[in-house]
Structure 1
């Protein structure tokens, strides 16, 4: 029986889907609102739910329609325009050798599962918690707590690995340890404000957790 558990965020932690996200946002904004947004405007909001992102980009009406347009386009391009981050596969394989694994993301769970299957990695995760699986997304602890219960993990041996302060805040509220990654959408300086452990890659984070779990 594996003592430890690791909850991984997805975008900016295991995968880089920036191209697919940006293209889908620009498509949706053209179709449903006409509100202009730069790539920089969109990138700084990645990690939040889609409705939150559209609202904070200035969409006043038809937010739900924009979300639907986004999903329609994203589903046609997301596998071709998403790639694993460096060392992500190695991190997952190593983590699976000593810990139970789950993905906790604000991305739609359906797309998250399809992506992991596309990369041949779905079988390593005991569960994948997406936006549609919870009432309150990160930074609320609900998604993490739900994953912990599903994989029957103990909080004192559970880690959250993510790339934004949304992940770190959710981990703090769920009373579990966390590691912030600089390979995603938050800077080292931003992560310093919300995480006591920082790593440059998911593999580096998993290696640290392995050492702690073995002690």
Structure 2
């Protein structure tokens, strides 16, 4: 079995770091700051998409993104935490599956975070925003991750907290599980998968029981 995990809202909570980095960029460019609810509603999308949706002019978007990244890099490890049961989920998953990370975050910073939490060695691949042309919900990030595995006769699952994760899985032709530890609601996730759990550990234990029952 191959399990691919999203990061934000699935394994980690970096909401504080994300919001602070957005507000820092608004301050630098004297931009009318969007409220936190609007920013949170966009988490999971690429940064340029988020800034565009928040009203930043097209010619300034990449300046905002660069300023965001510069600040985020400084604070990410201090202002990001593992979600409850996330460490247990990864450790349990590693006992019966090959693991990967597919995120819209910058891969470089994602790897630093997972090393900080002592979990990076459980994953065979990490695909971040800079590794693909087309981020989630496109199939490309998942298909790119799967190049690192022998997929022959393997069940493949994407575990994520937003419709972007579930749509990416559908577009890549793999199975998906929604978790309620992140940013999309149960009502939203139900439109894209009939498998929804409270968190990643519940999802992993369900898959473990499926695998066991097949033998």
TM over 0.5: yes
Please point out which of 46, 52, 55 is paired with 2:52: 55
Q: Which residue in the other structure is 2:175 paired with?
A: 177
Conserved in 1, the CA contact under 8 Å of 2:2 and 2:154? no
Please list the CA deviations of residues 73-100 of structure 1 after superposition, one character each: whole Å capped at 9, or x if unmatched: 0011000000000000000000000000
Aligned residue number for residue 22 of structure 2: 25
- Note the 1:120-159 alignment, pairs <5 A: 120-154=118-152, 157-159=155-157
Given that 2:163 and 2:184 are in contact with CA atoms closer than 8 Å, whether structure 1 keeps it comes out as: yes
Q: How many residues align?
A: 212
Q: CA–CA distance in 1 between the matches of 2:25 and 2:5?
A: 28
Q: Aligned to 1:74, what secondary structure does the other structure show?
A: helix
Distance 1:156 1:189 in 2: 30
Deviation for aligned residue 1:36? 2.1
- Pairing 1:197–2:181 present: no
Correspondences of 1:5-154 after superposition (within 5 Å): 5-32=2-29, 34-60=31-57, 61-154=59-152
Say what the alpha-carbon RMSD is for the aligned residues: 1.1
How many Å separate the matches in 2 of 1:152 and 1:71? 34
- Which is further off, 30-39 or 111-120? 30-39
Unmatched segments (≥5 aa) in structure 2:
none
Runs of 4+ off more than 4 Å: none
What's the CA shift for 1:151?
A: 2.1
Stretches of structure 1 that go unaligned for 5 or more consecutive residues are none
Q: TM-score, normalised by structure 1?
A: 0.96
Contact (CA 8 Å) 1:148, 1:155: kept in 2 or not? no
1:207 pairs with 2:205: yes
Preserved contact between residue 47 and residue 164 of structure 1 (Cα < 8 Å): yes
